[in-house]
Structure formats: C-alpha cells, structure tokens
Amino acid sequence: MSQNKPALCAKHPFYCNDFNCYTPTAAQEFATVDEFLKKYKNTSTDLDLCFRFDVKPFSESCDNKIGPYYAEIFIMRQRQGLFRPIVICNYTAADDEKMKAWLEPHWKKLKEMWKPFSD
C-alpha cells in the first residue's frame, strides 16, 4: 500500500537534540499520535510549550520503526526548565489534522512570546 507523504513533513536546516543530556529520563516515545494525544491532549502552553515539531521518513532514524514516517515533538517545561523530546514512531498523513489542532495553541503562544517580532 502506498503511503502519502504527510503535509507536516519538512526538511529543517538544522536538527534538534533528541535527548536531554541533563535528565536522561526526560525523553518519551509513543507508538501513535493517538497514544501521544491521550497523554498530552490538554497540555498547557504556559507549562509545556512545544517549540519544534518535525516529521521525518524513517530513513533518518527511529528506534521502533512502525510506519514510513515518524514525528519528533520538542517541549520545554518552562517552570521546571526541563527539555522533553518526544518521538511518535508511526506518523501518517491521516495524523496531520490531529497534530495541527494540537500544535495551533503552541504556535499562537510562540508568536505571543515573540512580539513585536511576530506582528
């Protein structure tokens, strides 16, 4: 079966670390977007701000390869100063709308934090 490329799949000019070298237990891995959303659906952008989101083909790297794409979500727990990298091991084009809905408040918060540059 052919896999459509997710719309959120983008080649960024530089990578973000996929681990927290100060707290090795900070990284998390989820099999699917639904599993991720079960835990993070109601995250506060003030407390757990997503500052980067990458969707990549598996040719780049992922421990538990399930589908042709995977997602990396990078969250900063602002009050604790904890960097939390998250991997979703199976990401498809069908997940784009769910992730866009989850990412939208984070994008709005980032623009708010960067005023007047974001105007």
Domain ranges for the chain, please list them.
Answer: 28-113
Q: Which segment of 58-62, 95-99, 106-110 scores lowest on mean pLDDT?
A: 58-62
Unique residue bearing structure tokens 């934090």: 113
Q: What is the number of residues in the chain?
A: 119
Helix intervals (H) in the chain: 33-40, 96-113
pTM over 0.75: yes
Percent of the chain with pLDDT over 90: 58
- What is the bridge-based pairing of β-strands 48-57 and 28-32? unpaired
Q: Which three-class secondary structure state does DSSP give residue 1? A: coil
Q: For residues 19 and 31, which has the higher predicted lDDT (pLDDT)?
A: 31
